[in-house]
């Protein structure tokens, strides 16, 4: 992922997007020549600093979030597998305690990183929208520059959504397996019912800032939103371009 950032930064200096920004600053009528010479380096500094800083922050958060999600998914499925092959004479209390500990981990992860996940997904979708907008309206020829950004933002979105949705599905599967324990071990039916009702009744799922429960369908919803707003902007741009021609 750092390689994508390096490609994005290097390709910016050879892209027409960078040339457009430079020409705008050079030909600006709102500043003196000295000020323009000073500010002409600002876009280049920002084009290096912003991707590097965002890469350091986003890669760290996304990597940690994805690792915890996939590890929780693995442990939830292990619990489900153990319950599926549980004999009637085995003690299931350690399994219930392991499930309770895992749900506490999921709750803590959602409490501390749900806002970070929301920011990463929202900023990545905004980046995808900007990139596709730039491909259509600004400079179609800068394929490498926009392709690196497109892949970068897509990876961030998929890492958050796919890992969190996998953990949510595994948590639900383990919860259903826990609920089936009293029926699997009728000998301790009432004792298990008491334990499960007192400790395992909470609905646990990873969310985006406590607003939206993360599911794989969110990717399709996000793509649909991007396409809808993209078509709207394309229509508006075509209308604006056609008005001067009609006036002539």
HSE-CB of 104 using CA atoms within 13 angstroms: 7
- Mean pLDDT along residues 207-212: 93
- Mean pLDDT along residues 193-207: 91
Structure tokens at 118: 């929301």
Percent residues over pLDDT 70 in the chain: 75
Alpha helices (H) in 85-199, listed in sequence order = 93-137, 143-179, 181-184, 189-199
Separation CA 62–CA 226 (nearest Å): 22
Query: What element of type H or E holds 61?
Result: helix 42-84
pLDDT digits (tens, 9 = 90+) for 86-128: 877 777 889 999 999 999 999 999 999 999 999 999 999 998 8
- For residues 134-156, one letter each, b for 16 or more C-beta atoms within 10 angstroms of the residue's C-beta and e for the rest, the string is bbeeebeebeebbbbbbebbbbb
The answer, yes or no, to whether residue 165 has pLDDT greater than 80, is yes
- Which range, 83-97, 133-147, 150-164, 176-190, has the best average confidence (pLDDT)? 150-164
Structure tokens at 47: 């084009």
More confident residue, 206 or 30: 206
- Mean pLDDT along residues 131-143: 65
pLDDT at 2: 61
8 A C-beta contact, residue 167 and residue 76: yes
Confidence of residue 69 (pLDDT cuts 50, 70, 90): very high
Closest CA to 146 of 238, 12, 31: 12
pLDDT at 135: 67
């Amino acid at each position: 992922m750092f390689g994508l950032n390096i490609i994005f930064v290097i390709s910016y200096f050879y892209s027409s997007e960078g040339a457009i920004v430079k020409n705008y600053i050079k030909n600006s009528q709102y500043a003196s020549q000295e000020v323009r010479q000073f500010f002409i380096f600002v876009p280049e500094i920002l084009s290096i600093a912003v991707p590097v800083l965002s890469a350091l922050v986003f890669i760290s958060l996304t990597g940690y979030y994805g690792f915890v999600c996939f590890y929780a998914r693995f442990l939830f499925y292990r619990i489900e597998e153990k319950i599926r092959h549980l004999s009637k004479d085995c003690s299931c209390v350690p399994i219930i305690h392991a499930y309770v500990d895992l749900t506490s981990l999921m709750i803590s992860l959602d409490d501390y990183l749900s806002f970070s996940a929301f920011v990463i997904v929202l900023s990545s979708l905004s980046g995808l929208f900007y990139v596709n907008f730039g491909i259509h309206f600004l400079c179609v020829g800068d394929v490498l520059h926009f392709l690196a950004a497109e892949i970068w933002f897509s990876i961030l979105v998929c890492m958050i959504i796919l890992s969190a949705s996998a953990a949510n599905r595994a948590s639900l599967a383990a919860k259903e397996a826990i609920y089936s324990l009293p029926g699997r071990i009728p000998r301790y039916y009432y004792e298990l019912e008491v334990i499960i009702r007192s400790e395992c009744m909470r609905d646990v799922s990873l969310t985006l800032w406590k607003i939206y429960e993360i599911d794989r369908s969110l990717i399709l919803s996000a793509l649909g939103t991007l396409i809808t707003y993209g078509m709207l902007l394309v229509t508006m741009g075509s209308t604006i371009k056609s008005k001067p021609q009609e006036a002539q």
